[in-house]
Structure 1
Amino acid sequence: MWFFRLLGPFRLESGGTEIAVGTPQTRTVLALLVWHANEVVPLSRMIDELWGARPPSSAKVQLQGIISRLRRLLGRERITTAPTGYVLHATTAELDVELVRADLARARSLIADGEVALGASTLRAALGRWDGPVDPPLVESVACRLDELRMTVLEERIDAELLLGGNADLIGELTAVVAGHPLRERFRAQLMTALARRGRVSEALDVFHSFRRTMVAELGVEPSARLCSLHTRILRGEQDTRPAFPMPRKAHRPRQLPPALPDFVSRADLLTELSDVLTGAWTRPPLVVVSGTAGLGKTSFVVQLAHQVRERFPDGQLFASLRGDDTMAALRQFVRALGVPADLVPSAEDECSALLRDLLAGREVLLVVDNAGDAGQVRPFVPAEPGCAVLVTSRRSLTELEGARLVRLCLFDAAESAELLTRITGAPPGEALVARCGGLPLALRIAGALLLDRPHWTSDDLAARLSDERTRLDWLEAGDLDVRASFNASYRQLPAPHQTLFRRMGLLPAAPVPGWLAAALLDTGQDHAERVLEDLVSWHLVSAVDRGPTIRYGMHDLVRCFSVEQAETEQERDAVITRARAAIARVVAFSTAAR
């Protein structure tokens, strides 16, 4: 039987005897395949690791040669070809890293069941599988993940020993570990706990203050609420200071993703691109934010993507909708899904977020956060360590979210719109209906539902009913699908000046609006008006449609139909037209005088 060792110097063994792998490039390719055992390793990833940004023209041929040599060594059935790369097939018993993961899962289960001593013993055995430092030539991202795994096992072993009452024996070990990993908060908490239990309170407090100075100086942030709470308990002189981070828990593997749409169409290239982002090697958790106007199918797209990559996250997939403002409810849902009893869930958002990060440490979980209102609602869900990934949808662009991969979904083109309607109804639609829906997936789905519900209608019959902009949104409603309600959810979240400009823009003819005209509609300066316009662009309710001498802003046809409905009185309608005419007259007069 083959045995693949990643925990220490990279080795290939057969029957206990080390087998020569070959050149450094061959070792790199095999190490990648072993790390991603039973998963597809993309060809592009291997080429990047071997040659970086400037691969030779013969890169694919050379890689094929390496794979051929490995197949001769391991057997052809061991490495198979996939459409985008290669797969190494191996069992858990053949992979030292998988044996450690199995030990970690078993230890967590034992500790959750109260078998703390046996869990600690299992974690010590897992640490014993490491055979020295990782090979320097090993792929850097893999080496980082291996080190992260070891730190997680070590943290949980020390937590278990603290639960068993071990204190004095841990102080020396923890002092050395903290010196080697000064930014790792959990080790600091463990050292503080061990010192406080031995009556060395001043030293425990010094550990906290040293860490706080380091965090503020190097990262510009304060220690977590959990560590601050431990510091407070030590200050109060609590005798049995409990560990700050451990919590016995079952190794729950939640599967919360909604079902993927059976008639999902389009965006195949974007799905492939983001799948590569989420399944690649990382040194920090990937964060992908998908934004776009209401009704654009952001949730459907993200759910489709999550299903496509879910095998990469074997410890679970979490899904929650914030509905614009329900961050705490989603945090509670996630920590409960990961096995925390309801009465142990913190009531403060920052503590609940810290607990979630603790629960995610050492795991590979995909978090899907739907309908976030702003970046502040997303940050509590972002893990601190690699292994997990976060997918977010929002009606805003969230450009202020640090380190995020920002993706703006586009409207469907005519061909994509026709394909979706065909899949829903079973018959190709007319061009008029496609045009009336304006490439908005929600409108297309409603149109398809209406045609299914009224088999005596043709697509031209429905297009005729949608031809009147005054009643178009009345027709675009079917059950819980409602274009007007979707737009209204975005409109209600706008500040008052933004609502005012949005509804007044709809009262003008469909020509793009420049900043100076927006200023007239708001009765304010042009600079302020353009800031409001750009905020509306960030909300995807307005778009920059004309970049001539000045930027001009327009609306999607269906958004404009909604905007017109928001005018509060006939007097407001008249005032908008009057202000627009006066502003245009001033610009025309100025232009004439300038000539």
Structure 2
Amino acid sequence: MWSFRLLGAFRVERDGAEVAVGTPQMRTVLALLVWHANEVVPVGRMFDELWGEVPPASAKVQLQGIISRLRRVLGKERIATAATGYVLRAAAAELDVELVRQDLAAARGLIAGGDVALGATRLREALGRWRGPVDLQLTEPVATQLDELRMTVLEERVDADLLLGGTADLIGELTAAAAEHPLRERVRAQLMTALARRGRVPEALDVFLAFRRTMVDELGVEPSEQLRALHARILRGEPVARPALPLPRKAHQPRQLPPALPDFVSREELLTELADVLTAPRREHGPLVVVSGAAGLGKTSLVVQLAHRVRERFPDGQLFATLRGDDTMAVLQQFLRALGVPADLVPAAEDECSALLRDLLAGREVLLVVDNAADARQVRPFVPAEPGCAVLVTSRRTLGELEGARLVRLGLLDAGESAELLTKIAGVPPGDALVAHCGGLPLALRIAGALLLDHPHWTADDLAARLADERTRLDWLEAGDLGVRASFDASYRQLSQSHQMLFRRLGLLPATTVPGWLAAALLDIEQTGAERVLEDLVSWHLVSTAGCGTAIRYGMHDLLRCFAAEQAEPEQGAVLTRAVGACLAMAESMAARLPTDGLKPAPGTALRHHVEPDACDPVAWFDTELPTLQAVVETAAVCGMAEHAWELASVCQQYFDHCGHNAGPLAAGLTGA
């Protein structure tokens, strides 16, 4: 595509690359033809530009030679011969001046129709077509006319910005424009308005007085009645009101919600609670709800179900998009197009898109659903200031840093809810074993239901048998484009290196929960640092917690543990050695503090002190940590660390002896050592 650029240094381009025009005379003739594109330029007019009032005798022949060479550059069909001269044939899209005029006309139409924000955006695009000062060396005042066009576009864009409430960013721009064009009254009025709205009244009055002196001294006239009236209002302290933003006459009302699941089950109490939050009478700020939880918990399904339930409360539309990685900008642009912004008017900067989105939502009632946000930074550009709008967000992180958000942490389905979902999908009761292997994870339950439908010769017990082995469970939990492993992997890949390291090392231990000191041994760092990493994993819903205060413990969902165990750990031997060493040190310390007063409990019962279980109560400590110690012993034995396993088991035996237990569970873990 050809482009003829006059807004700056004269330039001809083809497909974005500059085309060398040739001699200065060729450039002069072509510039004149471009300025009068699609109009006949008389031969005499060209003589005047090339040679002034005394053209040479060979002027006609020389001009024909110039036109011939230009045709070789541009194509012979580009410059046509007319009865009195020549004409350059060019489409409006090829002429930057025509594009500005189109932008100006379109912006005026948009603003007149109420789309002030879109009109301002179109005017900004028009101003962006200038590449610098105009340098055409023609006898016509082309540069003056193009500068007048630029100032018209600038003034109309400033008017639109003032209508939208902008002031602070305009003052510097208007101050420079007033200095460049000291007799331009409209710029002075805009500068006075912007200063007054910012509370800088003395400066606004000074702008008027300086302009009046200039007008009287240079032209011998007073400023217009309109400018004097503005000065009087500012002088009296009357507010320079911000006009109300008109709504578009034909506002788009998008309906983008995906269909709700027909087999959605449970969570009725939560849905009712959140529906009340979203449909409550208007407040100062619109509701912002964040539903977070681990991968596969059904966050999106819940939010879509909720959005359909409350959509009548948002008659101006419902927007929906899924964030995939760092694509906030793409989703903002998608929402703007859905609200009626033409694709060629969508801004190219994220902050401009966000500002335009807020402008379009002003005075409207729209529900925005933003799925799969990675962090609060991705959410903030979508939050409007309008109390009539609402935002629903899903995330695998809690997003506690998101200002004003109602945080909802989604949990697992219980056994009854899981059985109900599987029955709805597969049409047959699932059985307790299959429900247990899915662990209350809706994604796993949906995949299990899909597998039963795909394999009608399987019973629920057949599938449960295939899922019984934790080492291959995730292999079976795949159906079409659904996969538990793939869902977990997306969360794992978002973690930093240290977080990935602790996550996979927790998978080395089949314990239900671990304390912070054991996590510190797995990472070989201080306990405080390890607990920070653990708490981050809790925020990502990859690790769960039990207890509180100093007794807090950290665990994993069974399917997450299966996934963690699959991740390669290059330092497995050293990690397990540290884990056994940490357990041994703690167990030895607690065993040394076991009471020696000879008290013996009844067989099969533990000695209970009349204190709360804590680190000062060795019996309570062993009671709490026994599952962890047993897991470490079993893991060490399986991994060929029999000596370490026996040593830890021997220390634990002191607790069993003291409490009258036998060491059966620990001994069972050593049978293969």
Q: CA deviation at 1:294?
A: 0.3
Change (3 A) 1:246 1:207: farther
Change (3 A) 1:188 1:244: farther
Deviates further, 316-325 or 430-439? 316-325
Q: CA deviation at 1:516?
A: 0.6
Identify unmatched segments of 5+ residues in structure 1: 1-110, 121-161, 179-183, 212-242
**Rounded Cα–Cα distance in structure 2 between residues aligned with 1:399 and 1:116:** 40
* Partner AA of 2:188 in structure 1: G
Instruction: Give 2:555's aligned residue.
Output: 554
Change (3 A) 1:244 1:190: farther
Determine whether 1:353 maps to 2:354: yes
Determine whether 1:255 maps to 2:244: no
Q: CA deviation at 1:452?
A: 0.3
Instruction: Give 1:66's aligned residue.
Output: none
SS at match of 1:390: strand
Structure 1's consecutive aligned runs of 4 or more residues displaced over 4 angstroms after TM superposition are 115-120, 162-168, 186-193, 207-211, 243-250
- RMSD over aligned CA atoms reads 3.3
**Rounded Cα–Cα distance in structure 2 between residues aligned with 1:112 and 1:457:** 65
Instruction: Give 2:585's aligned residue.
Output: 586
Q: CA deviation at 1:588?
A: 1.6
Instruction: Give 1:102's aligned residue.
Output: none
Instruction: Give 2:572's aligned residue.
Output: 573
* Partner AA of 1:435 in structure 2: A
Instruction: Give 1:368's aligned residue.
Output: 369
Number of residue-to-residue matches in the alignment: 400
* Partner AA of 2:482 in structure 1: L
Q: CA deviation at 1:201?
A: 5.6
The one of 186, 196, 199 equivalent to 2:188 is 199
Instruction: Give 2:308's aligned residue.
Output: 307
Determine whether 1:268 maps to 2:268: yes
CA contact (8 A) 1:295 1:442 kept: yes
Change (3 A) 1:299 1:116: closer
CA contact (8 A) 1:446 1:476 kept: yes
Instruction: Give 2:318's aligned residue.
Output: 317
CA contact (8 A) 1:188 1:207 kept: no
CA contact (8 A) 1:116 1:164 kept: no
Q: Which runs of structure 2 are paired with 1:427-438 in the superposition (5 Å)?
A: 427-438=428-439
**Rounded Cα–Cα distance in structure 2 between residues aligned with 1:113 and 1:275:** 41
Cα shift readout 1:275-312 (whole Å, capped 9, x = no counterpart): 11101112211000000000000000000000000011
Instruction: Give 1:477's aligned residue.
Output: 478
CA contact (8 A) 1:293 1:540 kept: yes
Q: CA deviation at 1:203?
A: 2.4
**Rounded Cα–Cα distance in structure 2 between residues aligned with 1:419 and 1:205:** 63
Q: CA deviation at 1:251?
A: 1.1
Q: Which runs of structure 2 are paired with 1:116-131 in the superposition (5 Å)?
A: none
Change (3 A) 1:492 1:116: closer
Q: CA deviation at 1:323?
A: 2.0
Normalising by structure 2, what TM-score?
A: 0.55
**Rounded Cα–Cα distance in structure 2 between residues aligned with 1:279 and 1:382:** 17
Instruction: Give 2:493's aligned residue.
Output: 492
Identity %: 71
Cα shift readout 1:220-249 (whole Å, capped 9, x = no counterpart): xxxxxxxxxxxxxxxxxxxxxxx9988978
Instruction: Give 1:139's aligned residue.
Output: none
Change (3 A) 1:119 1:518: closer
**Rounded Cα–Cα distance in structure 2 between residues aligned with 1:244 and 1:318:** 25
Q: Which runs of structure 2 are paired with 1:82-481 in the superposition (5 Å)?
A: 114=109, 185=165, 197-200=186-189, 202-204=191-193, 206-207=195-196, 210=199, 250-281=250-281, 282-481=283-482
Identify unmatched segments of 5+ residues in structure 2: 1-105, 116-152, 179-184, 201-242, 595-673
Cα shift readout 1:160-192 (whole Å, capped 9, x = no counterpart): xx9997999x99xx9xxx9xxxxx945889999
* Partner AA of 2:573 in structure 1: D
Q: CA deviation at 1:546?
A: 3.8
CA contact (8 A) 1:112 1:250 kept: no
CA contact (8 A) 1:544 1:554 kept: yes
Change (3 A) 1:249 1:518: farther
Q: CA deviation at 1:359?
A: 0.6
**Rounded Cα–Cα distance in structure 1 between residues aligned with 2:367 and 2:419:** 33
Q: Which has the higher contact order (CA 8 A, sep 6+)?
A: 1
**Rounded Cα–Cα distance in structure 2 between residues aligned with 1:268 and 1:301:** 10
Change (3 A) 1:552 1:200: same
**Rounded Cα–Cα distance in structure 1 between residues aligned with 2:156 and 2:333:** 30
**Rounded Cα–Cα distance in structure 1 between residues aligned with 2:327 and 2:112:** 40
Deviates further, 541-550 or 374-383? 541-550
Deviates further, 547-556 or 581-590? 547-556
SS at match of 1:199: helix
Q: Which runs of structure 2 are paired with 1:26-65 in the superposition (5 Å)?
A: none
**Rounded Cα–Cα distance in structure 2 between residues aligned with 1:538 and 1:167:** 45
Q: CA deviation at 1:384?
A: 1.1
Cα shift readout 1:441-491 (whole Å, capped 9, x = no counterpart): 000000000000001100000000000000000000000110000000000
Q: CA deviation at 1:427?
A: 1.1
* Partner AA of 2:425 in structure 1: I
CA contact (8 A) 1:186 1:245 kept: no
* Partner AA of 2:189 in structure 1: R
Q: CA deviation at 1:577?
A: 1.6
* Partner AA of 1:265 in structure 2: V
CA contact (8 A) 1:116 1:163 kept: no
CA contact (8 A) 2:314 2:365 kept: yes
* Partner AA of 1:583 in structure 2: A
CA contact (8 A) 1:442 1:483 kept: yes
